[in-house]
Amino acid sequence: MLRTTKTEFPVDKVRRLLEPGPIVLVSSAHKNATNIMTMGWHMVIEFQPSLVSCVISSANHSFEMIRRSRQCVINVPTVELASTVVKIGNCSGRDVDKFAEFDLTPAPATQVRAPLIDECYANFECELVDASQVKKYNMFIFEVVQAHVATAPKYPRTIHYRGNGEFMISGENTRRYRKLFRPEML
C-alpha cells in the first residue's frame, strides 16, 4: 500500500472510507512547520457539503496548528503502517519532525497548505468550517474540499482502535446484504 497511485475521489463519498471507523493520521502545516497526529475520534456528519467532525485534544501540538491555520488533511493508513501510527501517537511535534522521523512523504495538496501523507490509502483535504465546539469539547468541524484515494486495492485493510493497545483490523467486505436495501436507503 506504500506510495500507490491515487485518483481524485468525490468528496460526498468519503463515508466509504471514514464511516467504517479507522484510525486516521491528521497532517497539518503552520508557520513553515508540519506535523502529524494519530486520531480515533471522528465521524461524517453531512454528505454535501462533505462535513466531518472530530476531536483533537488541546494537549496535542497539532491542536493549535490546526486551529490557527484552519486546515488539515485526514489521511487513512493501512495495516502496513500500524507501527508507525502508534509511534506517531507516542511523540509530540514539539520535539520531532514526524515526516522525517518516520520516513513519510509529504505530498502537496491542491486546496490546502497541509501536506498529504503519500503512504496513506486516502487523503482528504479539509478546511475548518466550524470551531464553535472547540472550547467545550475540542470538537472541530471540517469540510472535505478535495479527496484522493488509491486506485488499488479496492478495499484497504484499515486499523481500528479499541483502547488499551488493542487494534481491530478490518476484515471481509461484502455486498451480500445489498439486495435487502430499499434503493433510497443505500
Residues at the contact surface with a second copy, assessed by CB under 8 A: 13, 15-17, 19-22, 40-46, 51, 53-55, 82-83, 86-87, 89-90, 133, 137-139, 141, 155, 157, 160-175, 177-182, 185-186
Q: Which of residues 32 and 59 has its CB atom nearest to a second copy in the complex?
A: 59
CB of 25 to a second copy, least distance (A): 15
CB of 167 to a second copy, least distance (A): 6
52: nearest Cα among 60, 43, 62: 43
29: nearest Cα among 89, 73, 95: 73
The HSE-up count of residue 75 (CA atoms within 13 Å, CB side) is: 29
- The answer to whether the CB of 75 falls within 8 A of the CB of 34 is no
Q: Which of residues 63 and 167 has its CB atom nearest to a second copy in the complex?
A: 167
Q: Which of residues 56 and 145 has its CB atom nearest to a second copy in the complex?
A: 56
CB of 16 to a second copy, least distance (A): 5
- The answer to whether the CB of 65 falls within 8 A of the CB of 29 is yes
Could you identify the residue written with the cell 497526529?
37
CB of 105 to a second copy, least distance (A): 22
Q: Which of residues 7 and 32 has its CB atom nearest to a second copy in the complex?
A: 7
CB of 125 to a second copy, least distance (A): 20
Could you identify the residue written with the cell 506504500?
2
Residue 90: helix, strand or coil by DSSP? helix
109: nearest Cα among 86, 130, 125, 121: 125
Q: Which of residues 108 and 183 has its CB atom nearest to a second copy in the complex?
A: 183
Quote the cell numbers at residue 27: 497532517
- How far is 112 from 59, CA to CA, in rounded Å? 24
CB of 48 to a second copy, least distance (A): 13
Q: Which of residues 2 and 169 has its CB atom nearest to a second copy in the complex?
A: 169
